[in-house]
Structure 1
Amino acid sequence: MTEPTGLTRHLGLRSVVLFGLAYMTPLIVLGTFGIVADTTAGTVPTAYLLALVAMLFTAASYGKMAAAYPVAGSAYTYVRKAIDSRLGFLVGWAVLLDYFFLPMVIWLIGSAYLSAQFPSVPSWLWLITFILLTTVLNVLGIKVAAKANFVLMAFQILVIGFFVVLSVRDVVSGGGGLLSSTPFFHGGASLTTVSAGAALAAYSFLGFDAVTTLTEEAIEPRKTIPRAILLTALIGGGVFVLLAYVTQLVHPGSVFDDQSSAAFEIARTIGGNAFAALFLAGLVVAQFASGIAAQAGASRLMYAMGRDGVLPKKLFGYLQPKLHTPAFAIVLTGVVGLVALSLDVSTSTSFINFGAFTAFTFVNLAVIARYVRHRGPVVTNLVFPAIGAIVDVWLLFNLDGVAITFGLVWLGLGVLYLAYLTRFFRVSPPEMSFAEVV
C-alpha cells in the first residue's frame, strides 16, 4: 500500500473557526476567574480587553503569514521562511513548549473540577480518561474530531448563554445596574495588576495561533485561514470580556472561599444546585473540546517539523496510511500529558505563556522582514506588527520568574540540539518542500 504523503483538505471556514474557539475554550474565563480576579484586584474584564487588543495586532500578522505560506507549521514555518531557518527552528522549539503544555493544562483543569465534585474518584483516573478519549478521536481523523467538536461547542455555548442570563437576573433582582465602570477599573486596581492579569489571560487567545496548524487541511487556505484567525480572536475575545464583565458584576472584588473554583461558587449562587451541575458539565465538556483541538494543533506542528527533517522524520513525519493522521505525534502528545500528574495548573500555564509570547513576537517580526524585502502598505505591514511585537515582549516580561527561567532553559536546550543538527551551525537545518502534495 502506498503511504500517504500529505494531509487531506476537509475543513471549511466554520470548522476551522470552531476548532480555534474550542482551543480558546470560551468557558475558561470562568474556570480561571478567581485566579485572574486575585491578580487584577477585581478587574478581570479589563485584563481580557487589554489582552484582546494586544492579540489583534498579532492575529493580523498571523493572517498575513498564513496567506503567504499556506502550509502546516505556524510560527515555526513563518519565521523560518521570512527571516532565517535557524531562528525558525528556535521559535518552533519554543512553540513546542507551548503546544506540549497546553493540552496538559486543559486536561488538568478538567480533571481537577471533576475531582472536586467526585472526591471518591482519583484525579489521575479522570486525567487518563481525558487523554485516551481525545487521542482516539484525533487518531481517527480531523473530520471525526471536527464533528465531535461541533457538538461539544454547541453545548458549551448553551451553558454560556444560561450563565449570562442568570447573572443579569441576579444583578437586576439585587438592585444593581447593568452598566458600571467598576469591573473595569477602581481605586484598588493599578496598571501593574491589570498588566499582570493580561499576561495571564493572554494564553486563552492561543486559538488563533492553533488555527494556522490546520492550514493544509483547510479548503482554500489562503482565504479561509486569515479569516478564521481574525474571527477566532474577535469572537473568543468578545465572549471573554462579556463573561468576565457579568461575572464581576455578580461578584465584585477578588475574595473567594476557593479561587480555583470561584466560578462554580458563583454558578451555585445565581442558579442553585441544578445550574451548578449544568455548569460543571459545561466546563468539563469545554475542556474536552479544547483538548481535542489542542492535541490536533500540537501534532500538526510536530508533523511539520518531522516532515522537514528537523525532528526525526520516520517518527514525527509519519502519517497513518488509512486515516492520514500524524498518529505518532498525536500519541506522543497524550503521553506527555501524563506529566500533569505531578504539576498544578498555575505552573503549567506559566510555561505555556513563555512559548506563546516568544512565537507571537517573532511572527510580528517576520511580517516586518517581509515588508523590508517586498514592501507594501506601511501601516499593516510595518506599524501594526511593530506594535504587536512590542506588546508581546511587554507581556513576556510580565510573566513570573519561574516561567522565564524555565523558558530560557528550554531555549538553551534548543540551541544545543540545533548545534548538533547543523554541525555546530556550519550548515542550515533541513528545508521543507512547500509544494502541496495530494
Structure 2
Amino acid sequence: MAKNRVMFSCQECGAQSPKWQGQCPGCGAWNTLQESLVKEAAPSRFQSLAADGAIRQLAEVDATELPRTPTGLQELDRVLGGGLVPGGVVLIGGDPGIGKSTLLLQALTRLAEAHRVLYVSGEESAQQIALRAKRLDLSAARVALFAEIGLETILQALEKEKPRVAVIDSIQTVYTDALSSAPGSVAQVRECAAQLTRFAKRTGTTILLVGHVTKEGALAGPRVLEHIVDAVLYFEGDTHSSFRLIRAIKNRFGAVNELGVFAMTDKGLREVTNPSALFLSQHREPVAGSCVLVTQEGTRPLLVEVQALVDDAHAPQPRRLAVGIEQNRLALLLAVLHRHAGIAAFDQDVFINAVGGVRISEPAADLAVLLAIVSSLKDRPLPEKLVVFGEVGLAGEVRPVQRGQERLREAAKLGFTHAIVPKANRPRQPIDGMQVTVVERLADAVDAAL
C-alpha cells in the first residue's frame, strides 16, 4: 500500500524538508517552503534511454547529425539552431498574453502539412483554441487537439497518435496521479517534465513545453526544470509595443543567445526579416546624444541606436539611469571617461536608453555609450551614418570584440558609411562604401567622433 506523508518543498529550488523552516536549507531563500502531501508510490522500473543498456566506447557511438524539422517560421528556426530535433524537448517561457500559444499554434499548423502533430491544452478549452485558429485564419484541419491535464492520459494519447511534434500548454497545469500535491507544485512540475522528457527520448517525438514565469520574469517552478530540457526559449516584449523577441538561453543543439523578432498583428505573429530597422530612430537631421551601435545577438549582427541625455544635476546626488544596458556598467564607464578622456560628469544626471526595448548585455556597447554621453554633454551631434562598437577597459584602452568583420558588413548593407572600431578589428579587406577609423585609446575615439 502507498503511504501519504507531508513534505515541505521550496518553490525556488525544489529542495525538500520534513518540517517547515523559515529559510530554505537548499538555496537560502526565505519563506519559500510550502506544505504538500506526497504519496509514496511503489517503486517502478523506468525504461532506460539506452537501447540495449550496454557500455560502449565514445568513438563507437554513431555521431550522425540528426535531421532537423523546420517549423515554417524562419525566426523561430534561427533561435532553435535550424529547426526541431527528433527527441528534443524545448521549454518556452514568457509573460501572460505575450503570444506563446499563438506562436506555437502557427508553427503547428505549418508542421501539420507534412507531419503528424498534437496540441495538448491544459489551460484553454478546445473551442477557445478553434476560435483562435479561425481568428488568425489558420488552416488547422490536420492539427490534432487534446484538452487534458492528466499526465498518464496524455502519455497514452502520445503513444496512440505517435506525433512528430507535440505541444504541452502548459507544464504547470499537468499533474500525475503518483503524487498528491496540487498541479503546478515543485514536485508535480519536476515529475511531469521528467516523464515527458523520457518519452521524447525513447520515441523520438519532439515536445514543446509552455512554462509560466514569475513576477521577476524567471521561469516558474524548480530550477531543475531548465536542466531537464534540451532548450530554453524566452518570449519577451513590451506590452505597449507590437514587437516580440524570442531568445535562446539554453540550447543543446545550437548556439545560445540567438534572437528572433516577430511583430504581433491581428492575424497573429509576423516575422521581421530586418530587425535592425526596429532599433534605429529616424531623425531628419543629426541630433546630439545619439550613437548607432552594431551589437551581436548570437550569429546575427543588429544595429541599435543608443541615446544619452546629460543634464545638470538638481540634487546633491546625481542620477544614473540606464534602460537596456547594465546600470553598474554605466557607473564604471563614467569613471573611465573622466580619468582617461578628461571629461567629467560627476555633477550631471546621466540617462541612457537603448531604442526599441532591446537589452544589450555584451561589452561591445561601451564605446557607443561613451560617445553618446560625450555628444550630449557637449551638445554636438556625431557624424551622420556613423556606427561604433568596442569594449572599453579600465585603463582607457579600446579592446576588440568578436565578429567585427560581420558587424561592419551589416552596417554597410544598411547604408552606413563611417565606422569607429578597435584597432584589432580592422577589416582584412576594404568594405565597399565604408570608411573605417581604428582607435586604440578612448581619447582617440572621442577626437575621431567629434
Alignment TM-score > 0.5, same fold? no
Higher alpha-carbon Rg: 2
Q: Classify the TM-score, shorter chain.
A: under 0.3
Which of the two has greater strand per residue? Answer: 2
Structure scoring higher RCO (CA < 8 A, sep ≥ 6) equals 1
Which of the two has greater helix per residue? Answer: 1
Task: State the TM-score, normalizing by the size of structure 2.
Answer: 0.22
